[in-house]
Amino acid sequence: FNNFKSKFIDNFPCVEFPFRHSSLSSLDLVAYTLPDRYPLAELPAVTSNFPVTCLTTGLVWDVSLLPSLHDPTSPSTLSSSQGPLDLSSPSSVSCSSSGEEDEGRTSDPPSPDSSDTYHPQQTSRPRRNSKNRAGQREDKSEATVPATRPAFFCKHCPKEYNSLGALKMHIRSHTLPCVCPTCGKAFSRPWLLRGHIRTHTGERPFSCPHCNRAFADRSNLRAHLQTHADVKKYQCSTCSRTFSRMSLLQKHSAAGCCPSTA
DNA sequence: CTGGGGACGGGGCCC
DNA sequence: AGGGCCCCGTCCCCA
């Protein structure tokens, strides 16, 4: 890995080393370097077990209430977030950030809307009323309830979707059609690329109303706003201490406040 | 160990 | 139907 890193830095002196995560395993490196882009989907999900109270919604984030999050058959709970980079041929991909279709591009996998990408067994759309974002993770991991069975299957991974649009959006995460003209890093969506480009330009359009800090990413501003809050979003159900981030609560629990659930 | 920032992924909703 | 945006979330790094 270090050799790879050194070579990368030598060849791309103006580009930040993309594999910044020092904890990358050899398997991760294989995932990056092999043409097959999805072996990470086979890895087991890393989960934690402790109750969390979301103060903003009043929901208790107790993983025991979300069995699908731990469904071993679900491949998607793993964060393959740092999507594989196709740095080998950055110029071969020509996605304009304005939303050029990944479908049908010459060097990419076959079009997601082609007939072999899905199997329209059932086309009933799920409830679109729910603004329950909390349920997103449930939906991500698997079809949680057999009531609305997904009908569209990704041919690149085991994920299933109940609409063609959702499937197409997902397939972009495989094809990564949006490529940064500066460093060649590829993204699934144009707005992700735009956010990434801000890391090059230094643009920070999201300002904190409470201090003079500004952020390139709205989510990061949101997280920052938690630091100004008297009562933070995530509460330990054992000691009632609140935290600005889920990850902090996780660390808190893992450190022993909630030994029964850590 | 804790708190916070940076970067990014992905599903749902709106237009 | 599709693109853009919003929101929620994760992971890593660093002070």
How far is Cα A149 from Cα A124, in angstroms, rounded to an integer? 8
Name the residues in A44-73 having a C-beta closer than 7 Å to nucleic acid strand B. Answer: none
How far is Cα A240 from Cα A243, in angstroms, rounded to an integer? 10
At residue A95, the pLDDT reads 42
Q: What is the pLDDT of residues A207-250, one digit of tens each?
A: 888 888 888 888 888 888 888 877 777 777 777 777 777 777 77
pLDDT value at A175 more than 50? yes
Q: What is the pLDDT of residues A32-57, one digit of tens each?
A: 333 333 333 333 333 333 333 433 33
The residue ranking higher by pLDDT, A115 or A164, is: A164
Say whether the CB atom of A168 is under 7 angstroms from strand B. no
Listed by range, residues with Cβ under 7 angstroms from strand C are A 20-23, 46, 54, 56-57, 61, 78-79, 81, 98-99, 101, 113, 133-134, 136-137, 164-165, 168-169, 189-191, 194, 217-220, 222-223, 245-247
Give A214 CA → B5 C1' in Å.
11
Give A148 CA → C9 C1' in Å.
24
At residue A137, the pLDDT reads 33
Give A146 CA → B4 C1' in Å.
40
Nearest nucleotide (C1') to the CA of residue A213?
B5
Joined together, the tokens standing for residue A177 give 């059609």
At residue A104, the pLDDT reads 30
With cut-offs at 50, 70 and 90, classify the pLDDT of residue A151.
low
pLDDT value at A106 more than 60? no
C-beta of residue A41 within 8 angstroms of C-beta of residue A50: no
At residue A258, the pLDDT reads 56
Say whether the CB atom of A159 is under 7 angstroms from strand B. yes
- In the predicted model, what is the mean pLDDT of residues A200-212? 85
Joined together, the tokens standing for residue A65 give 């209430």
Q: What is the pLDDT of residues A108-149, one digit of tens each?
A: 333 333 333 333 333 333 333 333 333 333 333 333 334 445
pLDDT value at A206 more than 60? yes
Q: What is the pTM of this model?
A: 0.52
What stretch of H or E contains A8?
helix A2-11
Considering chain A, what is the average pLDDT of its residues?
54
In this complex, which residue's CA is closest to the C1' atom of nucleotide C7? A133
With cut-offs at 50, 70 and 90, classify the pLDDT of residue A65.
very low
With cut-offs at 50, 70 and 90, classify the pLDDT of residue A183.
confident
Name the β-bridge partners of A178: A187
